[in-house]
Amino acid sequence: MLENKIAIFGYGNHGKFIARGLLDDGFDITVIESNKRFYEDAQKDGYENLFFVDVTKDSDLKKLALDAFTQLVCVMDDEHLNVFLTLSLRSLYKASYILSISDSLNVTKKLKMAGANKVIDLYEVSANKIYNLIDRPIATRLLEDFVNNKEGITFKEMRIPKDSFLDGMMAEDVDFSSHDVLLVGMIDEELSHAFVFVTAGIAHKLDTGDTIVCLGKKEKLEAFETLIQKATL
């Protein structure tokens, strides 16, 4: 199994942007579509690993041999089809990691019941952005600049080592922007082992062993990672 091999079901409003972003980041992308127009859009965009199948048929899904993929990403525009697809994939590929998107609490519950390992709630993401616009307008504009001028921009996970100057600091007190990086979120070992976006409205205390995720240019991220090894600035 290739670590970066991802199957994306759907090349509509959400799928095409997700596929392009992952492709730009070096992932091996396979696009699977049942809508003729979206399939043709993917063809025009140059995707070589592309299949036009009826995702409501288990026989067609079996032929795709999806066991070889790291993740199965369900981003069909039709929410009912997305739930049905998630349920079918879980039944056929019991060990696979399935990620699905939702635009309502009701659909999120259905997707989780259908067997999705992870559900991205688009409503919650939008709410987080609204919170960020109100509370952190400068950081939000910086993030949008990063996304709109994506060339050279990437994410990096950094584990806070023992005696780092970050240990014991509140995340909001660290001037990440002065190092040309943006804090996106963290895994706070005191709260849980789950990833928490900085937009969630929780006061984050940084401790040894926590993992932070930052956005920026590769060389800036590497320089910042070296910096956090130091005990003092």
Among residues of the chain, what percentage have pLDDT more than 90?
Answer: 32
Instruction: At 49, list the tokens.
Output: 């690993």
pLDDT given at position 173: 85
Instruction: At 220, list the tokens.
Output: 């800036």
Are 213 and 185 a contacting pair, CB within 8 Å?
A: yes
pLDDT digits (tens, 9 = 90+) for 17-69: 888 888 877 889 999 999 999 999 999 999 989 999 999 999 999 999 899 89
- Please name which of 148, 173, 158 lies closest in space to residue 223, comparing C-alpha atoms: 158
pTM higher than 0.75 for the full model? Answer: no
Contacts of 34 (CB under 8 A, 6+ apart): 52, 53, 54, 55, 56, 76, 81
Q: Does domain 5-123 have CATH number 3.40.50.720?
A: yes
pLDDT at 132 > cutoff 80: no
Q: pLDDT class for 231, splitting at 50, 70, 90?
A: low
- Each domain of the chain, given as residue ranges in start order, spans 5-123, 136-227
pLDDT given at position 195: 62
pLDDT given at position 77: 87
Are 34 and 50 a contacting pair, CB within 8 Å?
A: no
pLDDT digits (tens, 9 = 90+) for 83-100: 999 999 999 999 999 999
Neighbours of 57 (CB within 10 A): 12
Contacts of 158 (CB under 8 A, 6+ apart): 211, 212, 213, 214, 221, 224, 225, 228
136-227 topology per CATH: Alpha-Beta Plaits (3.30.70)
pLDDT at 125 > cutoff 80: no
136-227: same fold as 5-123? no
Cα–Cα distance between 206 and 165 in angstroms, integer? 10
